[in-house]
A and B are shown apart, each in its own frame.
Chain A
Amino acid sequence: MKKKNSFKTSHNRRSFIKVSAATGGGMLIGFNLLTGCKSDPPAVAKPKVIPLPDPSQWFDINAYLKIGDTGLVSIISPNPEIGQNVKTSMPMIVAEELDVAWKDVVVEQSPLNSVDFDRQVAGGSQSIRQSWTALRQAGATAKKILVDTAAERWGIDASECSVSEGVITSPTGETLKYGELVAEASGREVPEEVELKDPSEFKIIGQSQVNVDMEGILSGTAVFGIDYRIEGMKHAVVLRPPAFGKELVSFDDAAAKNVNGVEQVLKFGNKIAVVANSTWAAMKGKKALTAEWKEVGPIEDSAYHTKTLKEHLVKKAEEARRVDGDVDAAFAQADEVIERIYEAPFLPHTCMEPMNFYANVTAEGAKLVGPIQTPKWTQSKVATLLGIEEDKVTVHMTRMGGGFGRRLYGDFADEAAEISSLIKAPVQVLFSREDDMTAGTYRPGSAYRFKVGIKDGQLSSYHLTEAFFNGEMFGNMPSNFPAGAIENYRVDCHNIESNITTGAWRAPYANFLASAEQSFFDELAEHLGKDPIDFRLELFAKAKEQPIGEEHNYEIDKFVNVIKMAREKSNWDTKKTGVHKGFSAYYSHNTYVAEVAEMVIENDLPVVKKVICAIDCGIVVNPKAAKNQAEGGVVDGLGHAMYGQFEIEGGRAKQTNFGVADYKLIRMMDAPEVEVHFAENQNDPTGLGEPTLPPAGGALSNALYAATGKRFYKQPFITEMEVKG
């Protein structure tokens, strides 16, 4: 018998005490809060595999799962679903260790539940990585209880039983199904130790499972935040300051109040809410408002941002983030010094579902429902805002129409809570697209300066300077590659204050740093007369043989492996007439990615036709969905590097919607084919929501150089193209 991994259970150890009434198949769509909705349940196409029938009684096993008397299993998905597939992939991990057939599983979204779950956050590509063991234990402990019950009934040792798809078999061939045992098992203590499967035994993990909300999405009945409704709910839109650095002086709401359906207009803080009986009435009411604003702070613009960033790049920080050797001494002795500056603008998140949230604040507390990546933080902020205890604030997460970091910040939930407390009624706040783009929590503008010294044909020094609004490189990023590979190495960061609200944006920091660095590497390799991949591999070899400095944050073998995979899968070393290739590789969010972009010239314009992507994210839980994440990250990364032109003018977003002359997101015509290859191994999984995005900009700029002979230093590249596409 294979050696099993034994783990102490760390999650909820409640045994089968709670028996709940059956809620039937309605749970399939998984948001039991919404039974108040008037829409009929969707007609679901007859599935190809028939699941077990709905139970008449459910038995709670632990926080993650309950089993019905028919054997049907309901698995609770703890983390918010923003399109990263956790509502499918996290329950798959539980089901794997529970040893049931995936067709016999229904999935339910958990609300915020800090008692049972540690990290109900969608961010940093961490959901699967950080919950991996807890999810497996949840399934494994339940399985053990059921097997112990069966063994007792048969009077044998539990180790003599085998389990497959919810059926326990004795050595003599007797069988018992989970559904037949669950009532009897309900008094048992949760075991303190459980055995987890060896990855070679996985039957569900590693097999592609369709998105559990597929029926809802295809029928239009999946409930996003914007779709949440409850009897008596009001609709609110908010007029916010017209620019960062402005404050409300006075307003005239006479015309707004005359709009059919508008019920109240009220000032809260520096904003005005229009409350109506329909969305359209609220939107019209807002348009009818007039307000006077005064300047209270600096009024910034993009020209100021560029100028300020560049001024900082020539300075050293008071304290460097990492120093190996002495870059200045090395520069003085170098045969040659090369310096390049890269710049990227502020960026809005442009989630397809504009920000929105529902709140109902009563004397009993506050009930919040909506799309949020950080329910726990929202609970805490709203409790503070309302001056009530945290346990009086409940947060339910709906499916989210994208997040990309914007929904880490619950400013919209705060607004809903504040308005509800003022009007004493349930309310949903909705941002228009223009609100969404002008009241953003933007990816800050940033710039990087790379300065290297070359001595005897080798890199002798490397100095990276970062200038960043409202933040700086965080964590162990200064120890990213090529730290460890170059004798004299230094990272300086400048954090410049801005009154524009900023925050995390898909693959924070790395999203542009990677693009800049990988472009620079390409130029450097060319300068040294080396193939771009060989150039990198030589640096890794150096870091491996004689690592510089105390530590670096990447595993050389994994990194080199994905680079070699991308080289092989893209036939990098075979030149193809008319195809121009760009290489890029980056490690972020615990996942290694290498990409090759293939570009051709069509009608005198450079076009990316294909991106080949090699990834090491450990065990791939749900392959087809994992590929989807990887493909999307590449398309998103290329799109923003190429087209994301966002400017601040007079303290306000200049681009406010998706019009032709306005903000451009990548569209189908511009999206290349993406070919995804995963490294095959049995390491614990890491995330995929972000890591394929950072290298994409570099692969693009390097392919652009190969195709056009021009280097691109400023995003979006479209602004530096001679012919605009």
Chain B
Amino acid sequence: MANYKIKINGETRTVEADPDTPLLWVLRDSLELRGTKYGCGVAQCGACTVHVDGAAMRSCSLPISQIEDQEVKTIEGLSPDLSHPLQEAWREHDVPQCGYCQAGQIMSAAALLADNPSPSEKEIESFMNGNICRCGTYNRIKAAIQTAAKK
């Protein structure tokens, strides 16, 4: 076990963990930030997506020892009041069904828009292809990203 200082949602937090502990489980079990979800554990479903220095990363496959001094943002830190254009667009399109994958979807989409404020439909599909939604809300996710991009 070792102590790690990480910057989460603008706050510096210290956690004690084994070096191989994935960021996902540090967030969920040590930091009480359970908006980030476990889906596959092998970076294939996107449910655990967070931002590390602004880039979308799969936190299930990112050992805590590798992210010191980097800024981590989770769904809980996306906006203080659900005012991020994506959160507003998600509400407008009533996107979620079960809702489990949606935090990961939103975090992926937020990274996409930060990098490419007006993505084409193909660019959205390509970027979001790493996020699975078993309920099949893909069309609404796409529409919500397009709505948010216009804001």
Pick the contact of A628: B74, B94, B100 (CB < 8 A): B94
In Å, the complex CA distance between A629 and B139 comes to 12
Q: Are A632 and B25 in contact (CB under 8 A)?
A: no
Decide if A634 is an interface residue (CB 8 Å cutoff): yes
Q: How many residues of B contact A (CB 8 A)?
A: 64
Evaluate whether A222 and B76 lie within 8 angstroms (CB atoms) in the complex, with A45-B82, A352-B133 already known.
Answer: no
Decide if A354 is an interface residue (CB 8 Å cutoff): yes
Q: Are B25 and A280 in contact (CB under 8 A)?
A: yes
Instruction: Please name all residues of chain A whose beta carbon is closer than 8 Å to the beta carbon of B45 when the two chains form the complex.
Output: 352, 433, 658
In Å, the complex CA distance between A679 and B132 comes to 31
Q: B128-144 toward A: CB 8 Å interface, digit per residue (1/0)?
A: 11111111111111100
Give B140's nearest chain A residue, CB to CB.
A628
Interface centre among A37, A278, A624, A659 (most CB of B within 10 A): A278
Q: Are A82 and B98 in contact (CB under 8 A)?
A: yes
**Closest chain A CB from B120 CB (angstroms):** 13
Decide if A15 is an interface residue (CB 8 Å cutoff): no
Q: How large is the interface on A (under 10, 10 to 19, 20 to 34, 35 or more residues)?
A: 35 or more
Decide if B65 is an interface residue (CB 8 Å cutoff): no
In Å, the complex CA distance between A440 and B17 comes to 32
Q: Are A219 and B18 in contact (CB under 8 A)?
A: no
Decide if B40 is an interface residue (CB 8 Å cutoff): yes
Decide if B119 is an interface residue (CB 8 Å cutoff): no
Q: Are A280 and B140 in contact (CB under 8 A)?
A: no
Give A213's nearest chain B residue, CB to CB.
B99
Decide if B10 is an interface residue (CB 8 Å cutoff): no
Q: Which of A75-91 contact B (CB under 8 A)?
A: 82-85
Instruction: Please name all residues of chain A whose beta carbon is closer than 8 Å to the beta carbon of B88 when the two chains form the complex.
Output: 45
**Closest chain A CB from B136 CB (angstroms):** 3
Q: Are B91 and A669 in contact (CB under 8 A)?
A: no
Decide if A400 is an interface residue (CB 8 Å cutoff): yes
Pick the contact of A432: B41, B44, B82 (CB < 8 A): B41
Decide if A260 is an interface residue (CB 8 Å cutoff): yes
Evaluate whether A353 and B139 lie within 8 angstroms (CB atoms) in the complex, with A214-B91, A432-B41, A668-B131 already known.
Answer: no
Q: Are A351 and B134 in contact (CB under 8 A)?
A: yes
Q: Which of A203-261 contact B (CB under 8 A)?
A: 208, 210-211, 213-224, 226-227, 229, 235, 260-261
Q: Which residues of A contact B (CB under 8 A)?
A: 37-39, 42-46, 82-85, 208, 210-211, 213-224, 226-227, 229, 235, 260-261, 278-281, 284, 350-354, 399-404, 430, 432-433, 624-625, 628-629, 631-636, 639, 657-660, 662, 665-669, 671, 673-674
Sample of 5 further A-B pairs with CB below 8 A, known A85-B97, A351-B134, A668-B124: A213-B99, A214-B91, A220-B76, A433-B40, A628-B97
Pairs A–B under 8 Å by Cβ, sample size 11: A37-B32, A42-B82, A83-B97, A224-B100, A229-B34, A279-B38, A351-B100, A352-B98, A658-B39, A660-B44, A669-B129
Nearest 6 Cβ contacts at the A-B interface = A220-B35, A83-B98, A401-B100, A635-B136, A220-B75, A632-B136
